[in-house]
Chains A and B, each alone.
Chain A
Amino acid sequence: MSQDPAQTGPAGNDGDDDVYDEPIPMMQSLIDNPFLLLFLGVAMPTVLYIVWGVMEIVGIPIAK
């Protein structure tokens, strides 16, 4: 599955290398990573909604 860099590289881009010099900002690369988002999207509600909620229910005292 190795790719020829000429196929996808900047060759077809009038040699405008400036565009490629700019690093991808951290937030953009974070948003471009679906698996990181998958982890966050499952972890957030699991901790904040389910785990917190279940802990509160377990902690309900016994009636006198």
Chain B
Amino acid sequence: MAVNRNFRTCPSTGLVYHEPAEKLIRWNAVAGVVSLLVGGVLALLVTLTRWPAVKLLPPDWFYLALTAHGLDMLVFWIIFFEIAVLYFAASTLLKCRLATPKVAWAAFWLMIVGAIMNNIAVFKGDSSVMFTSYVPMGAHPLFYLGLILFAVGALVAVFVFFGTLVVGKAEKTYNGSVPLVTFGAITAAIIATFTIAAGAIILIPTFLWSVGLVSHIDSLMYRTVWWGFGHSSQQINVAAHVSVWYAIAAIVFGAKPMSEKVSRTAFVLYILFLQLASAHHLLADPGLTSNWKIFNTSYAMYLAVLASMVHGLTVPGAIEVAQREKGFNKGFFEWLRKAPWGNPCFSGMFISLVGFGFLGGISGVMMGTEQLNLIIHNTIYVPGHFHATVVVGTTLAFMALTYFLIPTLFRRELMFPGMAKWQPYVYGLGMSAFSVFMMGAGTLGVPRRHWDMAFSGAAMPHEFPGTAYLMMGLMAVSGLAAIVGGAMYLAVTVGSVFLGKKIQTPGFAHVPVRKGMAPPPVWGPAAVAPSGGHGTIGLGGFVAPGTFVLAMVFLVSFILYYFVNWKYLSTVWPLS
């Protein structure tokens, strides 16, 4: 049977789409956005219930909605979209046919069946076990089976991604190394492989336990292995959204990576160390030694944090260099002031970067410190942290990328461009405030996953201070703003994809292997100067002084916040 070698070139971006890959990217992205829609409605219900003045749902519905919200957002929305990003990074960026589209479709349908099955189990009402489904609390067998099918599908999709890399190399569709964004996608795919393997190791026995074939699952063993899946799945997101940042810097500004070596080495640090941070969740658990806790929670001496701090510098740094080369070379920040703040692709990416670093990154490292975790564990600070990383960081980065994909991939004009322009601000700032207020409430001890902070019906209720209630109220209001921002995104994307004005472009045409090969490379002179030679831009020998200033502001905030929390820890009861 002939291999489908139909390709088209997008006239405005020059990107090359392989026919089956394009379809798969679209369908995976659409499945992701549908999950986001379901998760978003649930987010509204959860927010309105945790707003002490409203308390919308009764407890059983609240826990049901929270379980489904966690799964639809953290697993289904993000992983569907990530599979789309992987196919894009392999097939489109390498100008290469997607390996085995049929297998990729099988993977897609497995993921769909798994996602639906899991949602059915939750909405039936007997599987309100939260995203984490800690044993010995049990869910309906379909809950685990759905997750397992979804994970198997995702793993197959990851293998299709790796297969596509092999095809690209064999058919010589590119010269030398893969693009940096593809390398970031490789990082995400590697982390995904470990993630899904860890998930299988724990969810398959748990499924067997739920149908009565295994008699006992140890709760500590479950938490340890499960977090190898649960936390690492969020690390796929980090690798994926950092790649998206680089991609958007390239697309919007034509920015070159400041140094391929530095950025790629930082991704390698992710590959080696990022997944160890699954231990963040076990710092308050009995029995594991401090050696294990310290080594793993610190990603072996914070080497993955170092990598994030590097990306946090090199992405805006590359933008700054590109802007200065275009002539915005005055002072420290002209490049930033004159950035296209009205382009949602850029503004979304930039808010994602700043929010991920300042809110998600600093809070995550702080609470991932062995001893500091004592004053944070299982408070609502934790969801505050991960809404900053996974929502402001990952989801907003994916939203920003969508604004680029709609014209080039879906070949539709953006509907409601005015709304699209404001969407990243409403969503990003709403969600940032939401995270900050959650963290505030968490520092006051408010627990996560809790229906009633007033403990109605308890024999000995705890009375939280008024500030804790104020924080929860402000959290809810900011959450509503973020939900409005999410609805704006859905209106723009769904409207554009289904009703947007079609963009006429040349269609698909058969491209034989030989014609698909990359043209002979024109290598630059052997590396002596930084590629491109930045000439006279920048200040004081720094090509990106503005970014460096921002990085120092970040570092100072980080240091202050970190030690403030040590100070606070030193005032609580001595423990040993």
* Direct contact between the two chains A and B in their complex (CB within 8 A): yes
Question: Across the interface, do B190 and A41 meet the contact criterion of CB distance under 8 Å?
Answer: yes
| B193 contacts chain A at the CB level, 8 A cutoff | yes
Q: Mark A1-45, 1 if CB is under 8 A from B, else 0.
A: 101000111111100101100100000100110110110111011
Contact A45–B232 (Cβ < 8 Å): yes
What are 8 of the A-B contact pairs (CB < 8 Å)? A7-B520, A31-B264, A34-B165, A49-B276, A54-B221, A54-B224, A57-B218, A60-B287
Which of B197, B220, B268, B525 lies in contact with A37, CB distance below 8 A?
Answer: B268
CA distance A10 to B175 in the complex (A): 12
Q: What's the nearest-Cβ distance from chain B to residue A46, in Å?
A: 7
**B525 A19 Cβ-Cβ under 8 A:** yes
- Report the stretch among B77-85, B288-296, B311-319, B496-504 that lies at the interface: B288-296
Q: Is chain A's interface secondary structure helix, strand, loop, or mixed overall? A: helix
Docked Cα-Cα span, A46 to B200, in Å, equals: 13
- The answer, yes or no, to whether B137 is at the interface (CB within 8 Å) is no
* A62 contacts B by Cβ under 8 Å: no
In B247-295, the 8 Å CB interface with A consists of 264-265, 268, 271-273, 275-276, 278-279, 282, 286-289, 292, 295
Question: Are A48 and B224 in touch, CB under 8 angstroms?
Answer: no
The verdict on A12 contacting B520 (CB below 8 Å), with A3-B172, A41-B191, A44-B275 known, is yes
Contacts of A35 in B (CB 8 A): 162
- Please report the C-alpha to C-alpha distance between residue A11 and residue B170 in the assembled complex, in whole angstroms: 20
**B518 CB–A CB distance under 8 Å:** yes
Whether A42 lies near B218 (C-beta < 8 A) is no
Which chain A positions have C-beta within 8 A of B282? 53
- The 10 A-B pairs at the shortest CB distance, nearest first, are namely A12-B520, A41-B190, A45-B275, A41-B271, A19-B523, A60-B287, A53-B224, A42-B194, A34-B186, A38-B190
Residues in chain B near residue A31, CB distance under 8 A: 177, 183, 264-265, 268
Q: Is B477 an interface residue, CB under 8 A from the partner?
A: no
Q: Give the docked Cα–Cα distance between A1 and B521 (Å).
A: 20
The answer on a CB contact under 8 Å between A57 and B172 is: no
A38 with B521: CB separation less than 8 A = no
Complex Cα distance, B304 from A48, in Å, reads 15
**B381-428 interface (Cβ within 8 A of A):** none
Interface residues of chain B: helix, strand, loop or mixed (majority): helix
A3 neighbours in B (Cβ, 8 Å): 172, 517
CB neighbours (8 Å) of A46 from chain B are: 194, 197
Knowing A32-B177, A49-B228 touch, does A10 contact B292 (C-beta < 8 A)? no
Contact A49 B278 (CB under 8 A): yes
Asked if B460 CB lies within 8 Å of chain A CBs, one says no
Closest A residue to B162 by beta carbon equals A34
Q: Is B458 an interface residue (CB 8 A)?
A: no
Q: Which of B172, B300, B517, B523 has the most CB of A within 10 A?
A: B523
Please give, as numbers and ranges, the residues of chain B lying within 8 Å of A44 by CB-CB distance.
271-273, 275-276
Told that A46-B194, A57-B220 touch, could you supply 15 new A-B pairs with CB distance under 8 A?
A1-B171, A19-B525, A34-B186, A37-B186, A40-B271, A41-B194, A41-B272, A41-B275, A44-B276, A45-B228, A49-B228, A49-B275, A54-B225, A56-B288, A57-B287
Give residues 482-525 of B contacting A (CB, 8 Å): 513-514, 517-523, 525
- Alpha-carbon distance A28/B268, docked complex (angstroms): 11
Complex Cα gap A38–B264 (Å)? 15
Residues of A within 8 A of B272 (CB): 40-41, 44
Given contacts A28-B177, A56-B287, A57-B218, contact A38 B193 (CB under 8 A): yes
Interface centre among B272, B518, B525 (most CB of A within 10 A): B272
Q: In the complex the two chains form, what is the Cα distance from A57 to B513 in whole Å?
A: 54
- Would B288 and A50 count as touching, CB distance under 8 A? no
Complex CA gap A1/B220 in Å reads 52
**Closest CB in chain A relative to B273 CB, distance in Å:** 7
- On whether the beta carbons of B289 and A56 are closer than 8 Å, the reply is yes
In the complex, chain B residues whose CB is within 8 Å of the CB of A8: 172, 175, 517-518, 520-521
CA–CA, A19 and B275, complex, Å = 38
Select from chain A the residue with minimum beta-carbon distance to B518.
A8
The answer to whether the Cβ of B526 comes within 8 Å of any Cβ in the partner chain is yes
Partner of B513, one of A1, A50, A60: A1
Interchain CB contact under 8 A, A7 and B271: no
Find chain B residues with CB under 8 A from A49 CB. 228, 275-276, 278-279, 296
